[in-house]
A and B are shown apart, each in its own frame.
Chain A
Amino acid sequence: MTGSGDGTTPLLQARDLRKSYGSVQALRGASFDLAAGEVVALIGDNGAGKSTLVKCLSGVEAPDSGEIVIDGSPVVLDSPSAARAHGIETAYQDLAVAPDLDPAANLFLGRELRRPGLLGALGMLDKQRMRREAAEQFSRLGVTLQDIDVPIGSLSGGQRQSVAVARSVVWASRVVFLDEPTAALGVVQRERVLDVVRKVRDTGVAVVLISHNMPEVLAVADRIEVLRLGARVARFTASDVTLEQLVGAMTGALTQEEGR
């Protein structure tokens, strides 16, 4: 067990999570550890349960059993808002954005800015300010959009994904989950996302990166956790792992720990 190593309490832990969809067991005793300020890559074959684990840790799905621990105390993340309240943000693999709303509206979805004063108290939005701040954030994070006023559904898949990543990064104060953020991206955008990951890490926010791209994982992650058939099977430090070990862990040729 490597754990958090230095004896400090880990920021976020999942212990023995189980989750079934009907007869499909997506998680069979999955565990996960995350320390403050580190980049952890979560890898595994298709259907290994990565996205399900992320959903459980972001309050989107409720695990059937198991425990989620933040700063050493067990928590119940029974809604996305509960996870947000702990500073956890997520760029989901699917259903991340509202396709009929523009990028600025999506960036501020669920956190709409209201006008100052009485009009704001009546619920009136401050659209100008949201648009301006969204444009700033997009350019800071290298999201290139020709037109910021079109519904996000009319953007390319990669642009949509970039907006989802930007949103999670902008709001996260402790943890960002990025579920295959680079899957639809071109080479340039992919590098930008990895840069963003590093920048975010430098501000002290922990990043969990899900990816099938091993060079990318090795380039940016501090640690790697491997999920197979709904349970964690191995943990590595990125600096002393080989591609063979990672592939071995994902395919089941190599197992460090068993789902409990």
Chain B
Amino acid sequence: MLLVLAVGMTFVIITAGIDLSVGSVLVFAGVVAATVMEALGGGDATDAGPGVVIAGLVAALVGGGVWGLLNGLLVAMARIPPLIVTLGSFGAALGAAQLVTDGVDVRTVPKALRDGLGFGQTFQVPHMVALAAVVTLAGAWLLHTTRFGRRTFAVGSSAEAARRAGIPVRGHLVRVYTGVGLLAGLAGFMSLAYFGTTTISGHSTDNLNAIAAVVLGGTSLFGGVGTVFGTVIGVFIPAVLTKGFVIVGVQQFWQPVAISAVLVAAVWFDQVRRRSRDRG
């Protein structure tokens, strides 16, 4: 799930933007999906069939996409800094999710979804992992081989140069933010499948984790530079560090400290690189 969020985040950060709202949008999409499935299942979705599950997926994607679209419109058209826009939707999406459920987690999730996606395996490969891998590969393909990806880099590198080259910068930003919203919606649906409940309060630091993974993976917060492959590495660095700490017997509370240090170092390297380049 974090990987799915981080792939989307890679695109946003390459446009020199940021999306703080992903965790809340994930929750909102999960809540919408769970509520829809529950309603279609007549108050208890546990035994619902595949039709209801698909309706839930659509609801999650719509719920995520709408927040992404809103973010994109505010960033691109109203020209409000992405930090502020998505800080707003970070709070608003979570609030909206709580309004929908009165703050109580929805607990009836179709068994078909839990067994199919949440715990399902084919040839030892968990379906959750397979789905995340597919999303990652699709993201890498989109970013590194298509016109959409090329323009994402261009917009982040110099929005004005991109505009002067005839690239519809605003429309492109709207599409990038909407895409992130859709991915957050998908992640919300995956979360539902995995946890079997909406976990409203469990995603308050997803945004920071995703941003940290992207930055650790070598994507520049200033835009124009980055890879999906790096982000994949960045997602696994914290887990690897935790493992390593366990093996060498260091208290696990050092893990966030170490991650933060590496993060700050990564941004610093980026600065140094940028400065030495711009001297040219």
Contacts and interface: CB of A to CB of B under 8 A. Distances in A.
A90 B160 CA distance: 14
Interface string B212-250: 000000000001110000000000000000000000000
Contacts, number: 84
A20 interface: no
Contacts of B166: 79-81, 84, 110-111
B49 to A, nearest CB: 33
Interface stretch (B25-33, B99-107, B112-120, B142-150): B142-150
Interface stretch (B4-12, B78-86, B87-95, B151-159): B151-159
Nearest to B141: A124
Contacts of B153: 98, 100-101, 105
Interface string A90-133: 10100111111100010001111010000000111101000000
Interface string A17-61: 000000000000000000000000000000000000000001010
A87 interface: no
Interface in B4-25: none
Contact of B154 (A58, A80, A81, A109): A109
Contact of B280 (A58, A124, A156): A156
B134 interface: no
Interface string B155-188: 0111011111111000000000000000000000
Given A84-B166, A95-B164, A112-B150, A100 B224 contact: yes
B157 A101 contact: yes
Contact of B157 (A80, A90, A99): A99
A96 B157 contact: no
A142 interface: no
Contacts of A125: 145-147, 150
Interface residues of A, number: 32
A123 B277 CA distance: 31
A92 B164 contact: yes
B165 A100 contact: no
A256 interface: no
Contacts of A96: 161, 164
B164 A100 contact: no
Contacts of A151: 277
A99 B224 contact: yes
Contacts of A97: 158, 161
- Please classify the interface of chain A as helix (H, G, I), strand (E, B), loop, or mixed, using the class held by over half of its residues: loop
A170 to B, nearest CB: 13
A166 to B, nearest CB: 14
A238 interface: no
Contact of B225 (A100, A105, A122, A124): A100
Interface residues on B, range: 20 to 34
Given A109-B161, A124-B145, A100 B167 contact: no
Contact of B165 (A80, A114, A156): A80
B148 A123 contact: yes
Contacts of B223: 100
Interface string B234-278: 000000000000000000000000000000000000000000011
Contacts of A92: 164
A155 interface: yes
A124 B145 CA distance: 6
Given A60-B164, A98-B157, A110-B165, A123 B147 contact: yes
Contacts of B142: 123
Given A80-B166, A101-B153, A95 B158 contact: yes
Most buried by A among B156, B161, B223: B161
Contacts of B158: 95, 97-99
A115 to B, nearest CB: 9
Contacts of A98: 153-154, 157-158, 161-162, 165, 224
B161 to A, nearest CB: 5
A10 interface: no
Given A96-B164, A109-B167, A153 B280 contact: yes
A112 B147 CA distance: 7
Interface in A124-162: 124-125, 127, 151, 153-157
Contact of A123 (B146, B161, B165, B280): B146
Instruction: List the 3 closest A-B pairs by CB distance, nearest first.
Output: A100-B224, A110-B165, A98-B157
5 contacts: A81-B166, A101-B157, A111-B165, A114-B147, A127-B145
